[in-house]
Amino acid sequence: MIISELFYQEIAQLLSDVDQSVSKIKDVREQMRAFIVQLSRGIVENNDFFKVYVARLTDEAEKPGTTKMITTFFDGYVGRLKAIIEQGIASGAFRKVDAESIARASFSLMVGSIFMKHVMKVDLDLDYQNKTQIDLLLEAIKK
C-alpha cells in the first residue's frame, strides 16, 4: 500500500512539474516536444519509479490495485498530450486528427523505448529516440 501511495505521489509530482514547464511555452509544437522529452527524462532520472512501474507491468499484473497503478501514469500522459494536440487543432497548427489515438501511440513509443533500454538492455540513445518520435508525430499531424 505504501509503495502504491508513493507511486501516485511521484506520478502526480512528475506530471505537475511537466505541466508547469509546458504551460510557459507558446508554440503548441514546442509544447508537444517539451511534454514528451520532459516526461521521458523524468522517468529515466527517477529510476526507482520506473522499476516499480515495470515490476507491476511484468510481475504483479494480477494483484489488486495494479491496474489502477499502471493506468494512472497512462491516463495522465494521454490526457495531457491529447489536450496539447487538441489545442493545436483548434489553433490551426495541426490538422484534424484523433488526438487521443496520437497520444496513446506516443505513450507506447516512449515507454517502449525506455523499457528496451532499461529492461532489455538495448543500446538506445533516448534523446535521439524522443527526437525521432516527436518528429514523426509532428509530421503526421501537421496541417
pLDDT at 70: 74
| pLDDT of the residue at 34 | 95
Please, what are the averages of pLDDT over each run of 10 residues along the chain (143 residues)? 68 90 95 92 74 66 71 91 97 96 94 81 89 94 92
Can you give the pTM of this predicted structure? Answer: 0.82
The predicted structure's pLDDT at residue 95: 96
**What CATH number has the domain bearing residue 34?**
1.10.357.10
What's the one-letter identity of residue 28? V
From the number of C-beta atoms within 10 Å of its C-beta (0-12, 13-18, 19+), residue 97 rates as middle
Domain that holds residue 128: 2-141
